[in-house]
Copies of this chain bind each other. A is one copy, B any other.
Amino acid sequence: MASPEPSSVRRAFDGTFIKVDVEEWPGGEREIVKHPGACAVVAITAEGEVLLVRQFREALRRETLEIPAGVLEEGESGAECAARELLEETGYRAIRVEPLATIFTSPGFTDEKIELFLAEAEQVGEGTEEAVELVRMPLDQALKEVTGGAILDAKTAIALMLAKD
């Protein structure tokens, strides 16, 4: 069966990163954010620590603690994206990258899809993104921060809980 399509689409915002379409559906008008898709990785060191990044998130006006992640580049697989982002943000190389799950961050208004991965991590240098600070902590401690309030990012919460299993 063909995927259902809206009866009309008007591009209301054409940004560099996101687009917004106003679509007509049988249920009414929908405002939908089109997103290029992303990847994220739970990377565990030989010492059993998970690699997190602390960064200022303009949308929230605050810093967050998240697993390394980024937007898919043209022609790149999710696993390649995860390994590239890990290296750029932390200076660690990903070994044995395996899929954890795929999630949609907020199906009510956006098509953003994130592929989540698990990997072993081996340090080969330093992260090259100035605005990102590397934080290492035991996986169990990171899991406590999901309910403890230091980890508020949805993809990070899901990926850490799946990595534990």
Do residues A31 and B17 form an inter-chain contact, with CB atoms below 8 A? yes
Do residues A104 and B152 form an inter-chain contact, with CB atoms below 8 A? yes
> Smallest CB-CB separation from A21: which chain B residue?
B59
Do residues B33 and A18 form an inter-chain contact, with CB atoms below 8 A? yes
Chain B residues with CB below 8 A from A66, complex form: 107
A-B contact pairs, 6 of them (CB 8 A): A6-B58, A18-B33, A38-B108, A106-B154, A146-B162, A158-B158
Report the copy number of this chain in the oligomer: 2
Within 8 A of B (CB), among A123-165: 131, 146-147, 149, 152-155, 157-158, 161-162
* Interface class of chain A by DSSP: mixed
A165: shortest Cβ distance to chain B, in Å?
8
Chain B residues with CB below 8 A from A6, complex form: 58
Chain B residues with CB below 8 A from A4, complex form: 56, 61
Within 8 A of B (CB), among A79-101: 100-101
> Smallest CB-CB separation from A158: which chain B residue?
B157
Chain B residues with CB below 8 A from A100, complex form: 147
A120: shortest Cβ distance to chain B, in Å?
20
Do residues B154 and A57 form an inter-chain contact, with CB atoms below 8 A? no
